Structure 1
Amino acid sequence: MLAILPRECLRSARSSSRFAPLVVGCSKRLLSTPSSDPSRSHAAPATGQTVDLDFEAYEPTSEQIQKRRTEVPVSSLVVCHGLFGSKQNWRSLGRAMSSRFGVPVFALDLRNHGTSPHVDSLAYSDMAQDVINFMSSRKLSNVGLIGHSMGGKVSMSVALHPDLPQGMIRNLISVDMSAKRGPLSPEFERYIDAMIEIRDKPCRSRHEADTILQATESDLGVRQFLLTNLTRSPPGAETWSWRIPVDLIRKNIAQIGDFPYNPPNATEEELAGASESAQERSWNGETLFIKGTKSKYVNRKNIPTNQKYFTKSKLVRMDTGHWCQAEKPNEFVQVVEDFLTGRTKDETEEALRPRK
């Protein structure tokens, strides 16, 4: 459930045959981080508290609008990153999509990430309300909403949110993420422990921090990605600290594995770990699930669940791991274009077939 990796990090990551869809090589250290499985570790309820999200906007010039390659039926695109990511991960893609489609692209920093406020909750209904408030504050409607990994769950929670204004979302794209409750891979819990160890040392150089992280993660590309969250605060400080609140993320890790709603006609398995207050919700807007073929986040087991929540959903496969948009950015933008213009060839049936 990591966010998009910067391209320079991916260069080293691609050289490893283990980079699909998640990395391995973690030590067997004892964890202080609780389980991210909401059926084992209690996921705290939503607080109802919202925050104002920081963002970067990529506005097309008048010339770009005039010469846009493709006219799309949305007025803007809003993008939500994944766990440990930030708005800066989407800079190149944001500019590319804004120029190509001639619409503004807003890349958000979700709560407890980037330069957005820190708050003691990672409940998806709270994060969804943050995004709804952002779009409302800018009077956005007819939006194409894109979310990767954790951001995919946030985006799906926006579409399913009972307070979503009518007409605000036109198209929804979930990048390699399903609407399902379940634990993160154990690597992510170990990453948090390693990040807390780095904070408590503290480290005077990025090399020191990287050395500590190596005990948990052997892949250089992933370590470089995680270390983008290091900062010197205040500027000029002798030691490095994390710009993200690692203690709050650790405390609320079960919320990342949770999902706030139940699908219609839910099975017993689909209800596992659900809170008593979880409502049955569905959305009939145009929805696309992008699956990395080397990733297991979207699979034959949970595709039917996705279809219950999103009755007009389609699925497209990309020959990538979990980081679809980073590994093949040009192909990703084409997939987005095809979906927005109604040219998507639905591959749901093929994705449901048993592997040979």
Structure 2
Amino acid sequence: MLRILQSRGANEIRRRAFATSASAVEEPVTRKGSCTVPVAFTKFDAKEDADPSPPVVLLHGLLGNQMSFRSLVKKPEFAPKRDIYTLDMRNHGLSPHTGEMDLHALSRDVSLFLDNEGIEAASIVGTNIGGKVGMILALEQSDRVSDLVVVDGSPLASDKKLEFVNKIVQLIHDVEIKNYTQKKDIEEDLKKGGIEDERLRQFLMMNVVSDNDEPGFYKWRHGIQAIQEAMPALMNFPVYDSETYTGKSLFAFGKEWSEEEEAAIKKLFPNAAFQSLESTGPYYPAIGNTEKLTEVLNEHLRN
């Protein structure tokens, strides 16, 4: 059984509400002097009799949304005894759009979600930017993170990946999506703009939705302007002098990782394990092999 809901504002009475569109999601609220967003999320109840283990919270990557985990969550063998939550981060999916956009803001949103759902601690699984958010949460609020999995991410910023992602964000920003009445034409425009990989185009097209204000036309679901302006803050991980997370953590990469990445990870996460998912691809390569990802995650969650 699944339910699509939103986390509530910090000072409001907590109640469950079904989200069917972006308009159903509440506005950002102020919390501890910073803008905090009540994110949209879906809860998947345990497929089998639940055990006392913490729930699994899945955090998507940049330009993704909670649907990015659809094929993973649907697998009957994935964490069958655990409740699973998939979240839409701010400016993504059904969550509110806001101008404030950095890794700490995203981390505060997850913390608010945990508070509102009464979750003391969770197994945090994050891909790419979602992984960086999970790392910050683990380093700054270790009691909220029972264990951590970071898929295709590290504290180091890759110049090559940054250049590639910036190109994608710029292309999406420049596509005159309101001029199109056919989705296939939007995808063709992305292809002409340099997105030759079909899997990547399909990934990006998940964010194309009907524009209720202009019937027959489309819009981007995510807040692309805020995302573009926040790229430097999103791609660069904060500097930590003494903080470490000593809980169980796993860093999974699409194919391999560098010695520099391993050293940077071990400095902050001394008990980190590393795993290759034997996958290739130009963007979020680790998600391209869901069979291997399921196997690796289940092994981590069991132990």
Question: What range is the shorter-chain TM-score in?
Answer: 0.7 to 0.9
Partner amino acid, structure 1, of 2:269: F
| 1:309 counterpart = 2:230 | no
Amino acid at match of 2:210: R
Q: Please report how far the alpha carbon of residue 77 of structure 1 lies from its aligned counterpart in structure 2 after TM superposition.
A: 0.2
- Paired amino acid for 2:138: A
What is the RMSD of the two structures over their aligned residues, measured on CA atoms? 2.3
Instruction: Call closer, same or farther: CA 1:208–1:328 in 2, change over 3 Å.
Output: closer
Unaligned runs of 5+ in 2: 1-32
Give the CA deviation at 1:325.
Answer: 5.4
Structure 1 runs of 4+ aligned residues shifted over 6 Å read none
Q: C-alpha displacement at 1:219, in angstroms?
A: 1.9
After superposition, the C-alpha distances for 1:38-86 in whole angstroms (9 at most, x for unaligned) are xxxxxxxxx831100101111025xx217xxxx6x73200000001100
Amino acid in the other structure paired with 2:44: Y
> Are 2:300 and 1:339 equivalent residues in the alignment?
yes
Which structure is higher in strand share?
A: 2
Instruction: Give the 3 Å change call, closer, same or farther, for CA 196–99 of structure 1 in structure 2.
Output: closer
By how many angstroms is 1:282 displaced? 1.4
Aligned in 2, Cα 1:219/1:331: closer, same or farther, shift over 3 Å? closer
Q: Which residue type is aligned with residue 295 of structure 2?
A: Q
How far 1:241 moved relative to its partner? 1.1
- Show the counterpart of 2:181: 204
Shift of 1:201: 5.8
Q: Which of 130, 136, 155 pairs up with 1:179?
A: 155
> Is residue 85 of structure 2 the alignment partner of residue 126 of structure 1?
no
TM-score by length of 1: 0.69
Match of 1:259 in 2: 237
Counterpart in 2 of 1:96? 75
Q: By how many angstroms is 1:331 displaced?
A: 2.3
Partner deviation per Cα, 1:156-186 (whole Å, 9 max, x = no partner) = 111112xx2x632111000111012454432
Q: Is the 8 A contact 2:56 2:84 kept in 1?
A: yes
CA contact (8 A) 2:177 2:219 kept: no
CA distance in 2, matches of 1:103, 1:222: 30
Rg larger for: 1
Letter in 2 for 1:57: K
**Cα distance, 1:113 vs. partner?**
0.4
Deviations 1:309-341 (A, max 9, x none): 112111112211364653322322221122223
Q: Name the counterpart of 2:49.
A: 65
Gaps of 5+ in 1: 1-46, 265-279, 343-356
- 2:211 corresponds to: 233
How far the C-alpha of 1:250 sits from its partner, in A, is 1.2
State the AA in 2 paired with 1:137.
N
Aligned residue for 1:188? 165
SS in 2 for 1:316: strand
CA offset at residue 230 of structure 1? 0.9
SS of 2:107 mapped into structure 1:
helix
In structure 2, what is the Cα distance between the partners aligned to 1:238 and 1:108?
28
Q: Which has the higher contact order (CA 8 A, sep 6+)?
A: 1
